[in-house]
Amino acid sequence: MTRRWLLALVTMGALSALGTTLIAMDVPALTRASDLVVRGTIVRVEPRWTEDKRRIITDSELLVSEVLKGNLTSKTVVVMQPGGVLGDVGQMVHGTAKFSLGDEVVVFLEKRGDRAFVVGLAQGRFLVDRSGPTAMVKGGEDDLFLVDAKTHQPVPAPVQPMTLAALISSVRESLGPSPSEPVTPRPGVQLPRNKAP
C-alpha cells in the first residue's frame, strides 16, 4: 500500500533544495538559549495526532544520564516535535531533530510545562557515537540551510564533529563559573561605596 505523505515545509526563503533556513548557532548560543541541556538515551518514540486531528506530532522520551544545565525533577524528559508517521499517513517538517530508539544524544531544550522542545531545531541535537576509542558527537543539520546572524549569508554548520568531552566542556564553559566557585577580585579593583545622603 502506498503511503500518503503530507509535506510540511518550513522555509524563510527560496532554497535550491528542501530545507529550513535558520540562524546558525554555536554551542555557547545553544547553551544560552536553553533551559535544559542533558545527555541521555532515547527510550520511547511515539507519534500521535494533535487534539484537532489535523497534525501529527512525535514525543521522544529521553532517559537522562547527565544534566549539564538546568534542573530536572524526574529521570526522563519528553521532547515534542512536529511531524511523524501514523499508519499510512506521514507528515514531515524539514529541519527537525531526528531521534531513534536507543540513540544516545546530547540535547539543548526549551521547557514548556511537562514537554520540551529542541532549541535551534536539528542544531540542538547531537548524536553520540561510541564505535571508536573516543566517544564522538555530530550534529544533525543535514536539511537545514544555515545563515549568519548579521549578514544573513549562508554559512557552514558552526559545530563540527567533536569528542563528547569537548562538547560537554564547551557547554560548561558557556555557563561560566558555578556558584560554588569563589570569584577572586582582581588586584586594584574596588567596589563602589554608597555615599551618605
* Domain regions of the chain by residue span: 4-171
Q: CA 115 → CA 56, 64, 110, distances in Å?
A: 16, 14, 9
Q: What pLDDT is stored for residue 10 in this prediction? A: 33
Stretch among 76-85, 99-108, 170-179 having the lowest mean pLDDT: 170-179
**The pLDDT of residue 90:** 86
d(CA 13, CA 133): 42
Cell of 54: 489535523
What are the distances in angstroms from CA 47 to CA 87, 90, 116?
A: 10, 10, 15
Q: Which residues contact 15 (CB under 8 A, 6 or more apart)?
A: 21, 145
Position 184 pLDDT exceeds 60: no
pLDDT higher than 90, residue 44? yes
Q: What is the pLDDT of residue 180?
A: 57
Q: How far apart are CA 103 and CA 97, in angstroms?
A: 12
The segment with the largest mean pLDDT, out of 38-42, 85-89, 193-197, is 38-42
Do residues 84 and 58 lie in contact, with contact meaning Cβ atoms separated by under 8 Å? yes
- Identify the pLDDT of residue 17: 46
